[in-house]
């Protein structure tokens, strides 16, 4: 009897259910599900949410057929593990706006569902872990981390993660090395950092699961513009979670996650000292509250 040799899977063969299960598992491992809220606060928020749903039903004359379609879809979101994706794409941008409304330093935006803590640490200048034949345009990402008054923050920590040249994230798609295009870079004594990576690609959020079903039914698009994810921190300063975007991307203006802000746009130029492109972005961190 012959035994078939398994065919190696590439990132492009992953499914929404696989990515969703990974995002759900990461959330459970890394995030608290307990909120320091009083019973009155919970009752108020839950009451407003339930009222908003019922108001929509009454105002829009929702039929039983539509109600049952919604119920079936909500069940499928859970089965596909896509609640982290759904909430991070369509809700998190408002939560982030509230959380960061009093900052005076760099702008934040959503974390998204694909963050993984404890990525390999390097001192600057650094090169993100990547395959020997990693496709894509080389990109040098550099900058300076200071406080809001411009004072350098020595040893600032720059966590970075991104999609590859096909739009996939390591640990959420098969065939990619565990820490591909993920890293933690420690700035120098003047707060400067340099990170060698590749330019990420725009990508569609997974469309073969429940979120894709909603997108198709509503006639929306599923695209996110190309971006770098970052968490930047330093002793005595507030951590900032953000994303940085590339000029000219057709989906900067209609990002499905509503996460693009003018302050988060990069300036990208050809490198004079090597192949590829270079971009500089400085971070100003607010003091700890």
How high is the mean pLDDT in each 10-residue block of the chain (289 residues)?
58 79 80 78 95 98 98 95 94 96 96 96 98 96 98 96 97 95 98 98 94 95 97 97 97 97 97 94 95
pLDDT digits (tens, 9 = 90+) for 46-70: 999 999 999 999 999 999 999 999 9
Q: Could you tell me which of 98, 156, 116 has the C-alpha nearest to residue 283?
A: 156
pLDDT digits (tens, 9 = 90+) for 211-259: 999 999 999 999 999 999 999 999 999 999 999 999 999 999 999 999 9
Provide the total of helices (H) and of strands (E) in the chain, helices listed first.
6, 13
Q: What is the pLDDT of residue 115?
A: 96
Give the global pTM: 0.91
The single residue listed with the structure tokens 């078939």 is 4
- Asked if omega into 125 is within 30° of 0 (cis), the reply is yes
Architecture of domain 98-285: Sandwich (2.60)
Q: What is the pairing mode between strands 192-198 and 138-147?
A: antiparallel
In sequence order, the 6+-apart residues with CB closer than 8 A to the CB of 106 are 232, 240, 242, 263, 283, 284, 285
Q: What is the pLDDT of residue 17?
A: 77
């Amino acid at each position: 009897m012959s035994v078939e040799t398994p065919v190696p899977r590439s990132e492009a063969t992953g499914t929404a259910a696989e990515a969703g299960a990974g995002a759900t598992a990461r959330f459970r491992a890394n995030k608290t599900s307990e909120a320091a809220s009083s019973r009155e606060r919970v009752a108020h928020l839950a009451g407003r949410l339930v009222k908003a749903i019922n108001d929509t039903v009454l105002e829009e004359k929702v039929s039983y057929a539509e109600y049952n379609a919604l119920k079936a879809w909500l069940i499928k979101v859970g089965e596909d593990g896509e609640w982290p994706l759904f909430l991070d794409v369509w809700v998190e941008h408002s939560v982030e706006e509230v959380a960061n409304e009093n900052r005076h330093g760099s702008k934040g935006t959503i974390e998204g569902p694909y963050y993984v803590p404890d990525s390999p640490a390097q001192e600057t200048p650094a090169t993100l872990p990547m395959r020997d034949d990693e496709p894509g345009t080389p990109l040098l990402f550099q900058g300076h981390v200071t406080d809001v008054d411009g004072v350098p923050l020595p040893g600032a920590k720059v966590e970075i993660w991104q999609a590859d040249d096909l739009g996939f994230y390591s640990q959420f798609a098969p065939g990619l090395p565990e820490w591909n295009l993920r890293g933690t870079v420690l700035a120098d004594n003047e707060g400067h950092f340099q990170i060698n990576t590749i330019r990420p690609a725009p990508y569609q959020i997974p469309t073969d699961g429940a979120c894709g079903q909603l997108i198709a039914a509503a006639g929306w698009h599923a695209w996110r513009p190309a971006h770098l994810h970052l968490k930047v921190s330093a002793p005595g300063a507030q951590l900032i979670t953000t994303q940085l975007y590339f000029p000219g991307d057709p989906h900067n203006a209609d990002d499905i996650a509503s996460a693009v802000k003018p302050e988060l746009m990069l300036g990208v130029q050809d490198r004079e000292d090597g192949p590829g492109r270079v971009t500089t972005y400085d971070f100003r961190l607010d003091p700890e509250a």
